[in-house]
Structure 1
Amino acid sequence: MTETPTPWSAGAAYLDGRFMPIGEAAIPITDWGYRRSDVTYDVVGVRDGAFFRLDDHVRRFRASMEAFRLKPPEDDEAIKRVLHRCVALAGLRDAYVAMDCLRGRPPAGQPYHPAYARNYLAAFALPWISLVRPDVMERGAHLVVAETLRIPARSVDPRAKNFHWADLTKGQFEAHDRGADFCVLLDEDGHVTEGPGFNLFVVADGRLATPDAGVLEGLTRQSVIELAGELGMPVAVRKVEVAELRDADEILLVTTAGGIMPASRIDGRIMGNDRPGPVFRRLHDAFWKKRAEGWHATPVDYASGTI
């Protein structure tokens, strides 16, 4: 006899003070979080029952909220408890866990201005999501440099995570039309920034470099910088010219939703033997080995899922 899935098995959510199965979570379509993309967010991963860099993710989430002048009623410790309980309610050992802060709308009688709108927290835990499919991990992602430019940091600072993805989405359609997996966007001066949901490292002669501006200061990016230092690999945080990207020996894509991922082509040019390279292999294997040993791990409080 087939067991009927519980309503929590697809994921658990927290919305404006209440926990619920993910399928029941919904926000008002009149809120500015929806109508104006007036929201900030962060995503933390759970592997083998433990969060990775939970404190760092919540700290960055708070900094993003402050940048957008959003202040929900929950403090940082309350946010952590919410995330623990979402994972526990869903019963997940490997999870993709998101936290959002949305701006509502001003109540009747108040000025129609964001300063008067209510702010509230949303969070959810889903079964683990990877940015790339297993076959793409095996062969390496195919990239293109998009004609679309990244939104200027003077307008929307990418260090604060946001839903202003129109440039990234347009770039992804360029990649799709050119038969590639992902786009990479440049800034107004022609420097490399990032891709849709990931930071980049270029590798040349065993040296790594990652863009220093116009990007989210990713925590997986920071982890790679730390790990490269431990392994004796030279790494620089600096401006990266597009020519360096196109001429690289290897390109690494790094994100919470996938860890360290390889690329094997850029604008049709094949790197190495059209498969992931040795620097990727070394960092990828070391990253997941350290994760398995408890690096930056916070065990999930599964007892918090008791209803």
Structure 2
Amino acid sequence: MLNLLLRRLLIAIPTLFIVSVIVFLMQKLMPGDPALIFAGEERDPAVLALLREQYHLNDPLWVQYGYWISDVLHGNLGHSLRTEVPVTTLIAQKLPVTLQLSAAAMVLAILIGIPAGIFAATRKGTGTDYVVNAFGLAGMSIPNFWLGIILILVVAVHLKWLPSGGFVSITEDPVRFLKLIIMPAFVLSTPIAAYLMRHTRSAMIEALRSDYIRTARAKGLRRPAVVLRHGFRNALMPVVTMVTLLFGELMAGAVLTEQIFTIPGFGKLMVDGVFTRDYAVVQGVVLCTAIAFILLNLLADMLYILINPKLRKG
């Protein structure tokens, strides 16, 4: 088990290096000259030359990357061009907002997707199975931004059941948090619940075909015990790893959802940074998102090893 984890960590190191190069080059591909943005409206030639010298903009790309990655390794992601606030401070402020939204969406996705997958698997080939699969296909096909706009129009504007947007931390006001988070969490969870439903259904169908399930039925065990205690426990491995990996997709998918519901989170920070050409913010957000994906992949590997006895023995 330890050797397998070490191999995964060794693979993660060059992956992080490649990601850092891509993130750095992405900033260089963005239109506009950073020195012109730094200089403001006057754009004095002497000031421009000083800024290009200060930020190493006249150096070759590999030299600029060396300076940048050195700062990153020391925890310095630069300062926002608009607010002059350190990017690490902005990320520390916005990331908890997105994590709360993603956690709420994942809870909804698990509560909807896994029971629906089990329900469909136990009724394979019936009309119920087709209906559940149709809802799952719809969940994967409907764009998040469209569903969010429709919910705002129907639930917030016409029915006035919930507020149309905003955010309050769960630690400040739990009731207000639930009112504000339920719509964006539902929008964000819809495709994830559909993926979980399909994977749970496939894993359950495979598990219910196994010999130990037939043995359990032959012993006269009740259907819920056969399905949940024997079938679902053995189908749980791919589902758990899928949940871990999909959490990273939730954080990435929060970009549009936060923009629609005006949630001041990680995704909205990146969108605002792109629109205002705030290069340091965009770099910092993309780099942190990529690192989160890699760490979630490592966590998925660890969970799979802990759940699967064969891998632990190997």
**Structure of larger gyration radius:** 2
Question: Of the two structures, which has the highest relative contact order with CA contacts closer than 8 Å and spacing of 6 or more?
Answer: 2
Structure (1 or 2) with the greater helix fraction: 2
Please report the TM-score for the alignment, with normalisation by the length of structure 2. 0.24
TM-score (norm 1): 0.24
